[in-house]
């Protein structure tokens, strides 16, 4: 299952609250009820305050990424569980050992979520509004992309998204995203290739 990780870039709870509110304001429909893991391993912060901020903005904090048991007590006090961060580097290199791509021939209906772990996802049909297609590698949609497409889910910044007709609700690569309102009319309704440039998603005609 895929979960959103909030990686704290500051220990200042006021700054955290402002940043969370700004992100939620950009795409309230995306964040409503979204399960969140809190990662405080770069910057310590008051987990009770961060948890309250998330809940106040409509998100659902569920656990803390706890590297070595440092945050177990604070997490429990805030009503959260704990999870260990993965041992491997999240920036996974693309390699010959990657499994064969997951190929889907049927349309992806509203409410469905397809995930290709450690590989690419190829959809030989359309993706309906309200559907999600995710991959640790690239996402290919040989049809109309009207739902959400997320590539590089484990941090592969070289992953890309390809589709024959772009009308997506959300595009994301390695945690960087563009919502429907950020996609220009001139970029819609045509074949597209989406790639990451720094922290910005670029949409190019395919």
pLDDT in tens, 64-95: 988 778 888 899 999 999 988 765 444 444 44
Strand order in the sheet with 4-7: 4-7, 35-39, 60-65, 81-83
- Give the C-alpha separation, 121 to 102, whole Å: 5
Domains present along the chain, CATH in parentheses: 4-83 (3.30.70.260), 102-205 (2.160.20.70)
Residue 23 contacts by C-beta under 8 Å, 6 or more apart in sequence? Answer: 31
Q: Which long-range contacts (CB under 8 A, 24 or more apart) does 92-96 make?
A: 92/118, 92/136, 92/154, 92/155, 92/156, 94/137, 94/156, 94/158
Q: Give the closest residue to 115 by CA, choosing from 129, 95, 99, 92.
A: 99
Predicted confidence (pLDDT) per residue in 9-56, tens digit: 888 999 999 989 988 887 777 777 888 889 888 788 899 999 999 999
pLDDT above 70 covers a percentage of the chain that reads 91
State pTM to two decimals: 0.63
pLDDT above 90 coverage of the chain, percent: 50
Average pLDDT over residues 117-133: 93
What does the chain come to in residues? Answer: 206
- In the chain, the DSSP E strands lie at 4-7, 35-39, 60-65, 81-83, 102-104, 113-116, 121-123, 132-135, 139-145, 148-151, 161-166, 170-173, 176-179, 192-197, 200-205
pLDDT > 80? residue 116 = yes
User: What local confidence, expressed as pLDDT, does residue 202 receive?
Assistant: 93
């Amino acid at each position: 299952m895929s979960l959103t990780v909030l990686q704290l870039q500051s220990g200042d709870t006021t700054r955290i609250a402002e940043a969370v509110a700004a992100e939620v304001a950009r795409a309230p429909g995306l964040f409503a009820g979204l399960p969140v893991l809190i990662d405080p391993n770069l910057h310590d912060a008051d987990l009770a305050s961060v948890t309250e901020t998330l809940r106040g903005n409509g998100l659902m904090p569920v656990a803390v990424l706890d590297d070595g048991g440092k945050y177990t007590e604070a997490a429990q006090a805030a009503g959260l569980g704990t999870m260990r961060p993965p041992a491997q580097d999240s920036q996974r290199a693309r390699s010959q050992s990657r499994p064969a791509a997951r190929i889907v021939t049927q349309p992806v209906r509203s409410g469905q979520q397809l995930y290709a772990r450690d590989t690419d996802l190829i959809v030989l049909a359309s993706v309906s509004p309200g559907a999600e297609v995710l991959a640790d590698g690239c996402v290919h949609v040989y049809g109309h992309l009207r739902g959400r497409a997320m590539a590089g889910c484990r941090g592969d910044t070289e992953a890309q998204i390809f589709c024959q007709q772009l009308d997506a609700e959300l595009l994301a690569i390695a945690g960087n995203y563009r919502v429907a309102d950020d996609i220009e009319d001139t970029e819609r309704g045509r074949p597209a290739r989406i790639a990451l440039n720094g922290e910005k998603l670029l949409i190019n005609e395919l």
